[in-house]
Amino acid sequence: NAGVTQTPKFRVLKTGQSMTLLCAQDMNHEYMYWYRQDPGMGLRLIHYSVGEGTTAKGEVPDGYNVSRLKKQNFLLGLESAAPSQTSVYFCASSRLAGGPIETQYFGPGTRLLVL
Amino acid sequence: RKEVEQDPGPFNVPEGATVAFNCTYSNSASQSFFWYRQDCRKEPKLLMSVYSSGNEDGRFTAQLNRASQYISLLIRDSKLSDSATYLCVVLPGGGADGLTFGKGTHLIIQP
């Protein structure tokens, strides 16, 4: 049981390049999330998914696209990278989004540097 | 709009001491509350959930005050391994759009 995994762990891009970050979970979770974490800003939600084939915008969705073609995978795409997208990206998953108790499990993060 | 606010610290505390953090939240409809721990360059991990009646897990005690809209975390007999950033996390009522994170409180336990 690997939990939540992310690939790649680290990437350097040039402005205007594109890339896809992959998140995979083996816990059969329904909900998956992409966050970015910047110094002094805390974790901010980019996009999320409440099930296979569904996606929704979070707090900071501009410049990103996502897809959830399979329940276990959640992809985050940058079509034309910008230096402002330099950040640490965390994927998370959870079984249910509501309810009195909810735990999100995080992947180890992807460090992205856009030059 | 600052939905979840924390003192960023750092809190420099000698080993063995007791330390407490508070966190305030603005959405009175928030349903669930958590403390996450994040080590340097690592992912956040759940430390404990915060129940209305308060709860304790070993050296850690969490309290919720809905009237004043704050939660607290108390660490007793602090260890060097407690050095980390502690994130206050709130689940807004109703929606599926994830958790709202505070920016974290940095704790340094000194030998």
- Per-residue pLDDT of B11-52, as tens digits, reads 999 999 999 999 999 988 888 899 999 999 899 999 998 988
Average pLDDT, chain B: 91
pLDDT of residue A99: 44
Q: For residues A6 and A108, is the Cβ–Cβ distance under 8 A?
A: yes
A53 has pLDDT over 80: yes
CB < 8 Å to A102, chain B: 32, 34, 91, 99
A110, A93, A111: which is closest to A102 by C-alpha? A93
List C-alpha distances in Å: B98 to A10, A103, B3. 25, 10, 14
| pLDDT interval class at A2 (50, 70, 90) | confident
pLDDT of residue B2: 62
Residue A90 and residue A21: Cα distance in Å, rounded? Answer: 10
Nearest-by-Cβ selection for B96 from A42, A50, A107: A50
| pLDDT interval class at A103 (50, 70, 90) | confident
* DSSP assigned state of B29: T
* Contact at CB, B95 and A35, closer than 8 angstroms: no
Give A82 to chain B, closest Cα distance, Å.
22
Q: For residues A58 and A65, is the Cβ–Cβ distance under 8 A?
A: no
| Residue B84 neighbours by CB under 8 Å, 6+ apart | B37, B38, B39, B40, B107
CB < 8 Å to B101, chain A: 42-44
Beta strands B11-14 and B105-110, pairing class = parallel
User: What's the sign of the alpha-carbon dihedral A9, B88, A86, A34?
Assistant: positive
Residue B99 and residue A95: Cα distance in Å, rounded? Answer: 13
Beta strands A10-13 and A110-114, pairing class = parallel
A31 has pLDDT over 60: yes
H or E stretch at A36: strand A31-38
Nearest-by-Cβ selection for B91 from A40, A50, A102: A102
Q: Count contacts between A and B (CB, < 8 Å).
A: 59
CB < 8 Å to B96, chain A: 31, 48, 50, 56, 97-98
Percent of chain B residues topping a pLDDT of 70: 93
Backbone phi, psi, residue B97, to 5°: -85, 50
Average pLDDT, chain A: 91
Residue B104 and residue B5: Cα distance in Å, rounded? Answer: 8
Give A17 to chain B, closest Cα distance, Å.
25
A100 has pLDDT over 60: no
Backbone phi, psi, residue B82, to 5°: -80, -10
Q: Where does residue A46 rank: exposed (0-12), middle (13-18), buried (19+ CB within 10 A)?
A: buried
- Average pLDDT (B82-89) is 96
pLDDT of residue A63: 96
